[in-house]
Amino acid sequence: MAQSAVPALANLSTVPPCVCFQCNRCTAGCPLASAMDLTPAQVVHHLMLGEWEPVLKSEAIWACVHCETCTARCPQEVDVSKLFHMARVEAWRSGKVSPDQAIAAYFASFLENLYLYGRSAELPLTIICKLKTENYFQDFMLGLRLIARGRLNFFSLPHGGSAYRRLYDRVRQKEEAQV
C-alpha cells in the first residue's frame, strides 16, 4: 500500500470520499467511464475503504481527462476529479504504474519535454515518447500528414526552458528536504 498517498489524498479533497453514498452520478456523467477498468464511483468506493492499491494500479486514473464532470455532478460535493489527479501523481511517484503502459510513457515524455523546453513541443515530445514505447511506426502516416501541414516543425523549438528547469529543480529540492 502506498502509505504516502493516504494523507495526500485526504488533504486534497475538501470533502472526504467517506461521504459518498454511491449514487453513481459521477460515473453516469463521465465521458471516459466505458474506457475505465474502475468507474469513478468505484474509485471513490475503494478510497472510502482505504483500498489504495487497486486505485493506484488502475488504468482508470490514466484515462481520466480531468473534465470535472464527476465533481460537478456529485451531490455530496466530493471532488472526484482531484482524487483521480492525486492518485495518478501518487501512482507515478510510488512506481505503481507499469512503464510499458502507453499513457504512462506519454506522461513521462510530457514531463521530460517540459523540463527541456518549458512547454510542450510536439516534435521532441513525439520522439521521446516513441523512444520510450519503442513503438516507432504506429501513427507513422499521421506523423507524415502533420509534417506536411506544418504541425510538426523540425526547426522551431521553444526557448525559455532554463527558467522552467530552475523552478523544477527548486521544487524538487524542497520536496526532498521535506522527506
Q: How many CB atoms lie within 10 A of CB 95?
A: 10
Site for ligand SF4 in 5-34 (CB under 6 A): 20-26, 29-32
- In the bound state with ligand SF4, the residue whose beta carbon lies nearer, of 57 and 165, is 57
Helix (H, G, I), strand (E, B) or coil at 127: helix
The three three-digit cell numbers of residue 96, written as one number: 505503481
Name the segment binding ligand SF4 (CB under 6 A); options: 1-9, 36-44, 153-161, 162-170.
36-44
Minimum CB distance to ligand SF4, residue 89 (Å): 14
The three three-digit cell numbers of residue 116, written as one number: 527541456
From the number of C-beta atoms within 10 Å of its C-beta (0-12, 13-18, 19+), residue 74 rates as buried
Minimum CB distance to ligand SF4, residue 45 (Å): 8
Q: Does residue 83 bind ligand SF4 (CB under 6 A)? A: no
- How far is it, in rounded angstroms, from Cα 27 to Cα 81? 11
- How far is it, in rounded angstroms, from Cα 114 to Cα 136? 22
User: At a CB cut-off of 8 Å and minimum separation 6, what does 103 contact?
Assistant: 59, 62, 63
Minimum CB distance to ligand SF4, residue 12 (Å): 14
Site for ligand SF4 in 63-82 (CB under 6 A): 64-70, 73-76, 78, 80-81
- In the bound state with ligand SF4, the residue whose beta carbon lies nearer, of 58 and 81, is 81
- The answer to whether 18 and 103 are in contact (CB under 8 A) is no
Minimum CB distance to ligand SF4, residue 125 (Å): 22
Binding-site ranges for ligand SF4 (CB under 6 A)? 20-26, 29-32, 40-41, 44, 64-70, 73-76, 78, 80-81, 84
